[in-house]
Structure 1
Amino acid sequence: MVGDSQRSNLAAARAFYAAGSAATDEERRRFFASDFVWHVPGDTDLSGDYSQDAYFTDMPARMQPLEEWQIAVESLAANQEIVVSVCRIQGRRLGRALDTTGGHVLRFDHDARIVEAWGWCADQEEVDAFFASAPAR
């Protein structure tokens, strides 16, 4: 049986992914609690924890230059406060291509806003190579 909080959190996760990168920072802020933290795994300059404004400024800046970045949700699962997504992640950056399975673990508050999130991927080494600094010339 799916409870009200599961339904609310699944709806919020679907809306978050549907907004995608096309949404403005102000439009995307509505999905987050004021004190949220986003955890990025791996071993690159992108890896680390991003709180509040840093998620909207520092994290996107560290991802650049991106020629392409697409996240297609394949499935979502939820309990009372967690939604786990499985996604196909594709990108192009600095002559490198990325095509992998990954997603997020999203923890929601009682208002169905993201309080904490963890990224994950099937092949972290592939993602680390994709986001590695530009090769020396």
Structure 2
Amino acid sequence: MTTANVDLVTGIYAAYASGDREAVERAFAPDVRWHNSGDDPTAGTIEGVAAVMDHLLGENHMEDYALDVDDVLASADRVAVVARTRGRRGDRWIENPFVQLVLVRDGRVAEVWNYYWDQRALAEFMRA
């Protein structure tokens, strides 16, 4: 099951990067829960596929956005992704290392927790 879970999660990352919204949606359980750590406007819990997709593809994200996956680790029902994003808003740039923990149930993503390295910097960037 570990290999299938890694394939599922890395497939979501690839679909997201290529703009394949339908593939990303199909990978989520209908009652998916998405948790963002921190104290910025995106922090908190998001529930349901439509709300998660609005968050992932929302208007409040960065320009010149890039996402790099550094490592993927897995157990029987969880996948951990070590990654970083970078981008800008106007003339302000940020690089945001994070760890994402993904719970897989019945071949779909049931829950996601995002832990950002510098939560203060991210909050200041998102509020600007």
The question of a shared fold, defined as TM-score above 0.5 by the shorter chain, is answered with yes
- When Rg is computed on C-alpha atoms for both structures, the one with the higher figure is 1
Unaligned runs of 5+ in 1: none
CA shift for structure 1 position 126: 1.4
Residue of structure 2 in register with 1:108 after alignment:
104
- Cα distance in 2 between the residues matched to 1:63 and 1:21: 17
Query: Do the aligned partners of 1:71 and 1:90 also contact (CA within 8 Å) in 2?
Result: yes
Give me the TM-score of the superposition, normalised by structure 1. Answer: 0.83
CA shift for structure 1 position 62: 5.9
Q: Measured at CA, do residues 55 and 78 of structure 1 come closer, stay the same or move farther in structure 2, by a change above 3 Å? A: same
Unaligned runs of 5+ in 2: none
Question: What's the % identity of the aligned pairs?
Answer: 25
Q: Measured at CA, do residues 25 and 19 of structure 1 come closer, stay the same or move farther in structure 2, by a change above 3 Å? A: closer
Residue of structure 2 in register with 1:15 after alignment:
11
The aligned length equals: 127
CA shift for structure 1 position 96: 1.6
CA shift for structure 1 position 59: 5.3
Structure 1 moving runs of 4+ over 6 Å: none
- Counterpart check, 1:130 vs 2:125: yes
CA shift for structure 1 position 58: 4.6
CA shift for structure 1 position 109: 0.5
Amino acid at match of 1:131: M
Amino acid at match of 2:53: F
Give me the TM-score of the superposition, normalised by structure 2. Answer: 0.88
Query: Do the aligned partners of 2:38 and 2:116 also contact (CA within 8 Å) in 1?
Result: no
Amino acid at match of 1:57: D
Q: Measured at CA, do residues 62 and 39 of structure 1 come closer, stay the same or move farther in structure 2, by a change above 3 Å? A: farther
- Any idea what the Cα deviations from partners look like across 1:10-60, whole Å, max 9, x if unmatched? 111111111124324322101111110111111122111111211112554
Q: What secondary structure sits across from 1:131 in the alignment?
A: helix
- Cα distance in 1 between the residues matched to 2:78 and 2:46: 19
2:83 to 70, 87, 102: 87
Q: Measured at CA, do residues 77 and 48 of structure 1 come closer, stay the same or move farther in structure 2, by a change above 3 Å? A: same
